[in-house]
Structure 1
Amino acid sequence: MTASAAAAARAEGGPPGAAPPKQPPPGQPSPAHAAPGQPSPGQAAPNQASGQPVSDEDALSHGDLEPETEGAQEARAAQRELVAHAPAFFLGDDARFGGSAVGGSQHGVSGGQVGGDVYMGGRTEIHHHGTPGAAPDASGEVPRPYVEELAAVYAEGPAFAAALERLREERVLVLSGAHATGRNAAALMLVHRLGVPAVHALSPETPPAALSGHLTRPAGYVLRDLPLSRNRPLRDTHLFAARDQLVKTGGHLVVTVENSPHLPGVTPYPWSPPPAEDVVRALLDRHRPGEADALLALGPVLDFLAGAGRHPAEAAAFAQALAEYDGTAQALARLADFGQAAVEKQCRDWLGDPETGLRDKAFLLALAVFDQAPYVLAAELADKLFVHFERLQHPERPPVIPVFGPAAEDRLTLARAGGEVRQEQTDWGPVPQFMAAFHDERTPRVLLTEVWTSHPSARPALVEWLGQLARDGRPLVRTRAAAAAALLAAADLPSTMALLVDRWATARAVGPRVTAANTLTLAQLLGAPVVLRLLTQWCNDGQWGRRWTAIRALGLLAPLRPDLAGPALDALASRARADASNQAERDNLTESAALLLSAGQRRGEVLAEFVRLLYRDTPAVRGLALAAFARACDNAGEGALVGWYAETGMYQPDTARDMATLWRTALGDHIHTRAALQALQTWVHVATRRTDAATALELLLPALIVTADDRKRLDHELRTMRAEDGGPRPPLAERLLDVLRPAPAAH
């Protein structure tokens, strides 16, 4: 089965006039060599007293080196790289940074479940809905061939008919169910069965209050995995407005949600998945008509169907393997091997078989790190790993890599993997690449865990190789090194910390430290033990690099796990109370705290925490909150705070009050006034392109005026500001000046 992969659009620029970052932008290689006579980042620096080499880590620990720092936008760039390049199973569909789950991304179906890639007929099809860079509230039509292909193999299940009848009568249906139960595929099929002329997919970030405004055509609409919370419920009044609009247009709407308590007045329809046998039979009827009964009677098939809790996607993958059954003993063995036990045995066999050469084993491990990535990366970096293996096993002779080796097809066959040309998203647009992936998506995790825990003699080579990847100039390579290290940490945290993460965290160069932060972030997502406690301790560690790494990791982690935003902010505040020792560390604290405000739909709760710090903490923590708030506001990219506030936050009274409090305090604080005014200009520039942002500003500005000085400050900024291109003051600024003018006195 071809595993699904999440891809994220990466397009965000810094504010006009921002200094260029010292690190290359995402996707650009870093300089290969240091200046003549200077050590490259990470190389040993000479000890001036003894002349003996001193590692960056040792020198940094003793204060002999000043670590490299980043440009102002590098934290957000690192955040985008992590989401764009980490393997899909780390982040799932919940990696939201303000916009949709994967903005401008793929949506597909695997058997009875909507997922990432579309697995149909033995090949993977990538469908891009919408326009790259489109607004988060954009809707896109689901391609008709895609819907029809799903309809041809879809198993309805026992809950489908009643759900269809309810949708026909009420025009709006809220479908609730657990993860991986196929509710999203059901949503597509429900509206399709009604014979609608087209099916439109709405963004999950569509505010419930604005839902009816998107239902303008006589079509079927699906809003999949709508995120709900206490501050963002889906109310019956929202559905009443949507139903009125759908009656006018002749449309239908299905909203899918996880089982949620945030549905006041709404009675959702509980979704249950179709039986695994129905899913398998439906796919067999399409690919092997007339043979379903005989195939379902096979022993391995009966064993598979007897397993409890088979998800539709798993059943569809098994059906695909069953459709390829040719009656041979080998084919029957493949069916019997389907599952986790088979994956574990295969990985043990690969690594333990003396007949499998070191170069083949190196390729298998490299492919595990670069699964669902360009094949050329796995092949190139596998040879580097092979060199380390050769030096480890035969230290008496120099390693020799054959210039030419097995064909890609042969190597992938050995690895039980496949490859195809797909579009890879780059900073310059989509580029065709031959992508490689294991047939079973569990293989990478099992293989890396097996080599780390069962073959400790290979560790020195793996450590050196992953260290090289951590310093690579390509963001994808660095991120996959972090993902591999996170898997190893989940299996054996103490060894991984000692051999990999701590070395990277204490490096002078920025790249390894970012990789260390990514590793700890992903390890926490995997559930590795005590990572959060470790990050909290490292925030006040005596070593600068560990503090930097922990601070950055907390900033990266909170948007992926919004429930950790509070503990993360507390840990950052604890470091601020300790009085950060240098400007680089203070900047890192500010950047990481600003990232907390990109935590999806829970940003209102984070804003409330920021307000709490203004009144109940030390001046240093107050300064951190204001600096981070101004930094977060000074962002016009996708998922920025201004867009979220215009779409969602301004409609929540508590959030609107907290936003006004933070703006008013930052503007009135002499240390942060300039940064806040620059951020305000950013909001005005965004508002010239978005009517909802303009409305939000018109409502926000009066709340920022308490004293005459407040009015004068805002009036002067709006009168003197220029357009983004340096031209005259934008017309919106004139409208906002009218908002600021005091009402005439009554006579």
Structure 2
Amino acid sequence: MSTPEAPEAPHPAGTPVPEPAAADEHRPADGAADPDESEERDQPQDAWSARRDLVDHSPRIMNVGARARFSGGLLGGDQHGGISGGHFTGDVILGGKTEVYRFSAPGTAALASGEVPEATLAELERGFAADERLMERLLRRLREDRVLVLAGGRFTGRRTAALMLLRRLGAQPVRTLVRDTTAAGLADQFGDDQGRDKNNTRGHVLCDLAPRRDQPLRWTHLLAVRERLAERDAYLVITLDPGAALDDVTAEEWRPPGAAEVLAARLRARTDAETAAKLLALPQVTAFLEHSHQPRETAEFATLLVRYANGEVAGDAVGEFSLVSLESQVQEWFEAQESELHLRDKAFLVALAAFDGGPYALTAELSDLLYRHLQETENRARVPEVPVFGTHVAKRLQLARAEMKWEPEQTEWGPVDQQKAAFRDERAALVLLREVWTGHPSARPALISWLRHLAEDGRPLVRTRAASTVAVLARTDLPSAMALVIEPWGTSKRYRHRLVAVNALALAHLVGTPNIPRILDTWCEGDDPRLRWVAVRAYGLIGAERPEQALTALRRAVRRLYEDAPDDIDGEVGDELAEAVALLLLSAASDRVLGELCAHLDDDRAVHDLTLTGFIGACTHTEGDERYGPPLVLDWFARAATERPADRRMAADQPAADRMTAAHGVPFLWRAALADLGTTRQALKVLSGWVLIADRSASVEWALAALLPRLVTTATEYERLSHLLRTMPGEDGTPPPEVAARLLTVLSVH
């Protein structure tokens, strides 16, 4: 199309306006085609394969609990459905933030340098839970070496484990060393003022040592420390992050216990056995344990449960605590100063939220793209820089509370195993995107520029995740998401952008964003052909939940098209209308759609053509999109033809359109398509394709043998089909298939 792009919609008051993207429009994202080079090749992806990509690549949070609505359809599988709205379990996550009281567990506050009070150690010991075999091994090594380096993620209980190891050794007192102690100055912490106490074994703990890459913790440092410790009959435990800079030093890995163990130990320490058992049996506790929580959060939850048992807090606070803990963690990430959490790490967290469960390498690649945009937002005069090497994958995932695993990823060539990264708590992605969009509006320009680059990418997974991210933003703030992202995509002259807008609207509807059907109705009846294209295609995805209204909108659109350009009905909007009808016919609402199509077939010429073109389009699709797979519409007919009336359990007052079954409706539309001059040739071509499939499949032959007699009610219909079966060639010029002769025997004039 050569018409200029429509201007962007005005931005709502109070919404940061991104910098003009003129310079960026011609700068392709990594992995994306140059717009100038690909504009001539830009063609709309057919609706069927586009819907398949949407199903394959949408994030798990939009599939869990909604997969049946997202898929479903004629075969009840992932390949043949539509998208329907309804209740979405993420509503509470995407809505307003929950406010409840927070309680700190005794002894869990970070300790300053100095002696740890005996009461604190005793309290920690009472509620301590760990793998005892691991503790015995660590204790044995500490006793032998006098110094133990313990590596574990932050907030996993590594500091508590260090204190408990020293306590089990009988160390008294236990002192903490200053946090800014360097590896080289470690031995200096044990001077004459800390000489040996003949009556006591001393314990020392150094938490969160962070040696620099150019000044790693070396074996020689530990040797010097061991000498000082031996002179004073003392022991030292050092805790640090996984991947910390070490040289000839082997750190022991700290593996935290499960949340259930921590919670049970804490409750038993603070209540009697009967109360603890009752608290552990609460449904709110079961729900809490279903999610990934750190030991510190579990300890806080135990404190809250004790207060609940004492009548000090309400049950709502107990049920909301899990989500509140997650929200607090996300806020910590983005409120942290650059010295605490680097901007590149924050960019990775946002990218992981968008690509949750996707390939790690792709997430990391695109997070660096976002990092460059964020740097430009902070200082446009600075040239964005991205370190090429040095990223520690395990540390990055530990920070994000994420995990890595090998899983198959759907591609256009079939499934391929990929190393994927995902949040341990599947709610994290939604909470994080909401926090960034609403809690940090200054990040919006960078985020919007990043999303526009993702929409340019040549990979379907990337474009789908751009759409799903915008869907979450729309659920959080619909006016801003529409004005800043979706409408500019919808009015773009490039089909690729418009398709991302389609998917964003469909997924936004799936997650419960209000007013999406109203937007589609407005665009469908509007004057902008690009927005009309978007609306029509989106109806094919979400129309199954309200097929009557969706088909009404499609009928209005096709009548408008006939009035505006009667000679251009085969244009882009006309094609989309037919594909939308085909998708709805193959959706979970197939019977209702079929009834509507049959009931309105003869309303007018525009509707007649739309119905038949859409029906023939639906007939071209096969199971699994295999070349010789069973045709979906034929299989639908065969099942309906053998279904007993009692199996349907239809109400007597149900509308006739809703009571239409494929056993009657499919033959009815086939006869109409074969008789219409505009669709006869295409219908015969599809039917001959079915015959070739039947030559390879007995079940398809049986179904076709049941259908063909119902397509013959006049001599003309008999002559048309018999001529096809008598004259059709085999594939690649081979002799006619034998099945054609067998099918010819079932034809007769009624």
User: What TM bracket, shorter-length normalisation?
Assistant: 0.5 to 0.7
- Matched with 2:446 is 461
1:383 is displaced (CA, Å) by 0.6
2:632 pairs with 1:641: yes
Which residue matches 2:227?
A: none
Q: Is the 8 A contact 2:619 2:634 kept in 1?
A: no
Q: Distance in 2 between matches of 1:448 and 1:651?
A: 49
Residue 60 (structure 2) pairs with residue 98 (structure 1): no
CA contact (8 A) 2:718 2:749 kept: no
1:551 aligns with 2:536: yes
Aligned partner of 1:451 among 433, 436, 446: 436
1:147-186 equivalent positions in 2, closer than 5 A: none
Assess if the C-alpha contact under 8 Å between 1:594 and 1:628 holds in 2: yes
Match of 2:680 among 664, 673, 676: 673
Query: Do the aligned partners of residues 102 and 440 (structure 1) sit closer, same or farther apart at CA in structure 2, a change above 3 Å counting?
Result: same
Closer/same/farther in 2, CA of residues 618 and 341 from structure 1, 3 Å limit = same
Give the corresponding residue for 2:290.
317
Please, which of 665, 669, 673 is the counterpart of residue 662 of structure 1? 669
The match for 2:327 among 324, 344, 351 is 344
SS in 2 for 1:406: coil
Find the structure with the greater CA-based Rg: 2
Contact 2:616 2:682 in 1 (8 A): yes
Q: Are the equivalent residues in 2 in contact too, given 1:504–1:515 (CA < 8 A)?
A: yes
Match of 1:369 among 342, 348, 354: 354
Alignment partner of 1:651 is 2:642: yes
Instruction: Specify the alignment match of 1:138 in structure 2.
Output: none
The residue number in structure 1 matching 2:651 is none
Look up the equivalent residue of 1:696 and give its one-letter code: A
2:353–2:428 Cα contact (<8 Å) kept: yes
TM-score normalised by length of structure 2: 0.61
Q: Equivalent residue for 2:716?
A: 709
Could you say which residue in structure 1 is the equivalent of 2:598? 611
Matched, 1:541 2:508: no
Task: Give the TM-score, by structure 1 length.
Answer: 0.61
Q: CA deviation digits over 1:496-535, x for unaligned, max 9?
A: 0000001111111111111100000011111101001111
Cα offset for 1:30? 8.7
For residues 292 and 489 of structure 1, what CA distance do their matches in structure 2 show? 37
1:721 is matched with: 728
Work out whether residues 43 and 495 of structure 2, in 8 Å CA contact, stay in contact via their aligned partners in 1.
Answer: yes
Percent of matched pairs sharing the same residue: 40
Matched, 1:691 2:695: no
Matching residue of 1:83: 55
Q: Map 1:179-258; keep pairs closer than 5 Å.
A: none
Residue in 2 that maps onto 1:500: 485
Distance 1:427 1:334, change over 3 A: farther
AA in 1 matched with 2:621: N
Shift of 1:659: 1.0
Matches within 5 A, 1:506-655: 506-558=491-543, 562-579=544-561, 581=565, 582=568, 583-600=571-588, 602-615=589-602, 617-638=603-624, 640-642=631-633, 644-646=635-637, 648-652=639-643, 654-655=660-661
Any idea what the Cα deviations from partners look like across 1:434-492, whole Å, max 9, x if unmatched? 11011111000011011111111111111110011111100000001100000000111
SS in 2 for 1:740: coil
Aligned match of 2:24: none
Matched, 1:440 2:425: yes
SS at match of 1:528: coil
User: 1:296 deviation in Å?
Assistant: 6.2
Residues 289-300 of structure 1 mapped to structure 2, 5 A cutoff: 294=265, 297=268
Letter in 2 for 1:722: P
Superposition deviation, residue 567 in structure 1 = 1.9
Q: Which moved more, 1:688-697 or 1:606-615?
A: 688-697
Match of 1:397 among 367, 377, 382: 382
Counterpart residue number, 1:730: 737
Question: What CA distance in whole angstroms lies between the structure 1 residues aligned with 2:261 and 2:366?
Answer: 47
Partner SS state of residue 402, structure 1 = coil
**1:4 matched residue in structure 2:** none
Corresponding position of 2:336: 353
CA distance in 2 between counterparts of 1:317 and 1:699 reads 51
Q: For the residues of structure 2 that align with 1:629 and 1:452, how far apart are their CA atoms? A: 42
Shift of 1:657: 1.0
Q: Deviation string for 1:514-567 (max 9, x for gaps)? A: 110000001111110100111111112211211111111111223xxx322222
- 1:162-202 residue CA offsets vs partner (Å, 9 max, x unmatched): xxxxxxxxxxxxxxxxxxxxxxxxxxxxxxxxxxxxxxxxx
**Alpha carbons of structure 1 residues 677 and 437: separation in structure 2 relative to 1, 3 Å:** same
1:376 aligned counterpart, secondary structure: helix
Alignment-mate amino acid for residue 354 of structure 1: Q
Per the TM alignment, residue 568 of structure 1 is displaced from its structure 2 partner at its CA by 1.6
Gaps of 5+ in 1: 1-28, 42-65, 105-285
Separation (CA, whole Å) in 2 of partners of 1:544 and 1:348: 42
Q: How far, CA to CA, are the matches of 2:279 and 2:731 in structure 1? A: 61
- Larger deviation: 724-733 or 447-456? 724-733
- Mark the CA change 1:316 to 1:97 in structure 2 (over 3 Å): closer, same or farther: farther
The code of the aligned residue for 2:599 comes to R
Distance 1:650 1:445, change over 3 A: same
Q: Letter of the 1:708 partner, please give it.
A: A
- C-alpha displacement at 1:302, in angstroms? 7.4
The aligned residue for residue 7 of structure 1 is none
> How far did 1:734 drift?
1.1
Q: Per-residue deviation at 1:288?
A: 11
Return the alpha-carbon distance in structure 2 between the equivalents of residues 717 and 482 of structure 1.
45
CA change 1:375–1:671 in 2 (3 A) is same
Runs (4 or more) in structure 1 with deviation over 6 Å come to: 286-293, 298-304, 334-338
Q: How far apart are 1:384 and its partner, in Å? A: 0.6
Aligned to 2:176: none
Q: Deviations over 1:612-646 (max 9, x none)?
A: 1213x221011100100011102224285335415
CA contact (8 A) 2:725 2:740 kept: yes
Q: Is the 8 A contact 1:635 1:679 kept in 2?
A: no
What amino acid is the match of 1:85?
A: H
Is the contact made by 1:358 and 1:386 (CA closer than 8 Å) also made in structure 2? yes
CA distance in 2 between counterparts of 1:528 and 1:742 reads 54
- C-alpha spacing 1:39/1:662, structure 2 compared with 1 (3 Å): same
Establish whether residue 388 from structure 1 lines up as the match of residue 373 from structure 2: yes
Q: Which stretch of structure 1 is more off in the superposition, 481-490 or 680-689?
A: 680-689
SS of 1:729's equivalent in the other structure is coil
Q: For residues 45-69 of structure 1, what are the alpha-carbon distances to aligned partners after superposition, in whole Å with 9 as ceiling and x for unaligned?
A: xxxxxxxxxxxxxxxxxxxxx9954
Which residue type is aligned with residue 737 of structure 1?
L
Q: Tell me the distance in 2 between the aligned counterparts of 1:378 and 1:290.
A: 33
Q: Which runs of 5+ in 2 are unaligned?
A: 1-29, 81-256, 304-319, 626-630, 646-659
Greater RCO (CA < 8 Å, at least 6 residues apart): 2
Residue pair 1:469, 1:481 contacting (<8 A) in 2 also: yes
**1:398 Cα deviation (Å)?**
1.3
CA 291–402 in structure 1, closer or farther in 2 if over 3 Å, else same: closer
Once residues 289 and 542 of structure 1 are traced to their aligned partners in structure 2, the CA distance between those partners, rounded to angstroms, is: 59
Output the CA distance in 1 between the equivalents of 2:695 and 2:269: 65
Higher mean displacement: 657-666 or 676-685: 676-685
> Is contact 1:75-1:592 (8 Å) kept?
yes
Q: Distance in 2 between matches of 1:620 and 1:587?
A: 13
Identify if the C-alpha distance between structure 1 residues 728 and 298 changes in structure 2 by more than 3 Å, giving closer, same or farther. farther
CA distance in 2, matches of 1:452, 1:742: 67
Q: Which amino acid aligns with 1:611?
A: C
> What one-letter code is carried by the residue in structure 2 that aligns with 1:576?
V
Query: Comparing 694-703 with 382-391, which one deviates more in the overlay?
Result: 694-703
2:415 counterpart letter in structure 1: P
